[in-house]
Amino acid sequence: MQSLLERVNAGEILISDGAWGTFLQAKGLQPGECPESWNVTHADDVRSVAAAYVDAGSDIVESDSFGGTYYKLKEFGLGDKVREYNVAAARLAKEAIGDKGYVAASVGPTGQIVEDEGGEVTEEDLYNAFKDQVVALAEGGADALCIETMSSLTEAVQAIKAAKENTDLPVICTFTFEPGARGFRTMMGLDPARAAEEAVAAGADIVGANCGNGIANMIEITRAMRAAVPNTPILIHANAGMPVFENGQTLFKETPEDMAGRVAELIAAGANIIGGCCGTNPAHISAMGKAAKCKPGCCCGN
């Protein structure tokens, strides 16, 4: 099988997966419970999430390892479980997708702020935390590493360096942007163009954006990134619209058809890998995948 990078560099549009957290909650994950612990205690449930996305047409699935750094796990008193949970996370996702595609193992923010930005940890602290996680994910069989939901350039760079220097896996790095008067920015003030440029300079093979925005805003973000890094593949994981708070619940109301209807624009803007984030499920992924494979003038109506 061709590698993930070979396929996107050849111009193929690949389909990633959708939300994991809400899926696990539907299977019984309780508020305040460590999601990564389920890789050991509820392995069949975790594997079934990845399998559902594979059945929906995903070429790429992530893993239940978003909060798998020491800093995140220690909040649950599980700081000594980094290797165990991350190896298991990658392995379960790999078992689900087999030879049908790739595991882009999830690496989320640590929740820490470096000293230069007003926090208490050093860049070396972040590097070492990411190193422990990515080495374990590689051991578990990941095909790539997806450093995601980043807002701090410093943290993103340390994660990328840890991945590139301690594994031989392709590295994806995505940021989360918020719309505002100055355009799209991360919480640390980083705009899409600079985020893409700096991530590539640090060694990322694929860049992009996830969470924070529905597919309409992601089209604009993609255009900005594509202009900044014309030769680098871009991954986009959009929410199912912007969140709406109703009757004590946060809802994402964009339907699979709503999101699928904007896929052609997203591809035209420069996206190479398309998936979902908050509020998306296998139905969204299936619809977007079909739209991505639809050629102008064919029976799907595009």
Q: What secondary structure, in 3-state letters, does 118-152 show?
A: CCCECHHHHHHHHHHHHHHHHHCCCCEEEEEEECC
Residue 198: count of CB within 10 angstroms of its CB: 20
- 147 pLDDT higher than 80: yes
Task: Give dist(CA 225, CA 217) in Å, integer.
Answer: 13
- Altogether, the residues listed in the chain come to a count of 302
Select from 3.40.1640.10, 3.40.50.2300, 3.40.50.10330, 3.20.20.330 the CATH code of 4-293.
3.20.20.330
Per residue in 43-100, pLDDT tens? 999 999 999 999 999 999 999 999 999 999 999 999 999 999 999 999 999 999 999 9
| Mean pLDDT value across residues 243-267 | 92
Helix (H) or strand (E) holding 225, with range, is: helix 215-228
* Single pTM value for the model: 0.96
**236, 222 contact by CB (below 8 A):** yes
Residue 301: predicted pLDDT: 46
- 248 pLDDT higher than 90: no
Residues 28, 210, 207, 197: is their CA dihedral positive or negative? Answer: negative
Helix (H) or strand (E) holding 40, with range, is: helix 38-41
List the one residue out of 202, 206, 149, 211 whose CA is nearest residue 3: 206
List the one residue out of 171, 164, 190 whose CA is nearest residue 232: 171
List the one residue out of 167, 220, 221, 227 whose CA is nearest residue 197: 227
Residue 274: predicted pLDDT: 98
Residue 302: predicted pLDDT: 47
DSSP character at residue 51: H
